[in-house]
Amino acid sequence: MNARGFSLIELVVTMAITLVITSGMFSFIHSARRVFEVDLEHTDIQQRARVATDTLFRDLVMAGAGLQSPALAPFRRGSINPDMPGSAFPDRVSVLYVPPDSAAGPITATYGRRVDAAGVPHLTRYDGAASEMPLVDQVVGVRFEYFDADGQLIVMGRFADGPWIPDAVSADRFDADLRAIRRVRAYVRLRPARVFAAAPLADLEVAIDVSPRNLNLQ
């Protein structure tokens, strides 16, 4: 700089330095925003996992309260799209129980997975009548395993090969091995609701083990 002001070269150099600094600041802000969004998505998927496992636990732990019939069954019960008698599936479970403070009779809850019209997969809870509610979205997998009093896994085929109660032709028949269930393990696999190309999040699979207190009194 001289008495006449900045030279052209000085102005060009100053502008170049300013652009470099500004570009660096915007890059930092963009990176920080991306990290913030990824953290939000990570928190969201964990929250959805908590909702899924808490809801499953509340019904599973009550299985069998006030009832003598099989309280846990690997098929869909109810008036809408029930599974065929004698069938068994690893991706659904029906729970029966009578709440201690309820005079309305037994509660039926069937958990499974359903994809809505927009292609979004949900964990759902069906009440055995007319209501099937989505509980958690972006659920890409649901699976249940069952264990006996000795802690041994009961393979799914044992729930569909008899002997049948009350008999092999009854419309309400069930496999006698359902009475051997003492513990159930539920797996729920969730995917992120948003996809980040630069920092993709992996699916999250959670599992809970539930020993229904009423089944273990039998």
Neighbouring-strand partners of residue 144? 186
Output the CA torsion sign for 54, 59, 61, 183: negative
Q: Is the pTM of this model over 0.85?
A: no
Measured between alpha carbons, how far is 216 from 218 in angstroms, rounded to an integer? Answer: 5
Measured between alpha carbons, how far is 199 from 37 in angstroms, rounded to an integer? Answer: 10
Q: Which of 202, 182, 184, 179 is nearest to 192 (CA)?
A: 202
How does pLDDT run along the chain (218 residues), one tens digit per residue?
455 555 667 666 667 677 767 665 656 555 555 665 677 888 899 999 999 999 999 999 999 887 766 889 999 999 999 999 889 999 999 999 988 776 667 889 999 999 999 999 999 999 998 899 999 999 999 999 999 999 999 999 999 998 999 888 888 889 999 999 999 999 999 999 877 666 677 899 999 999 998 886 55
Under a CB-based contact definition with an 8 Å cutoff, are residues 203 and 189 in contact? yes
Cβ neighbours around 90 below 10 Å, total: 13
Helix (H) or strand (E) run with residue 113 in it: strand 107-115
Measured between alpha carbons, how far is 141 from 205 in angstroms, rounded to an integer? Answer: 8
Helix (H) or strand (E) run with residue 111 in it: strand 107-115
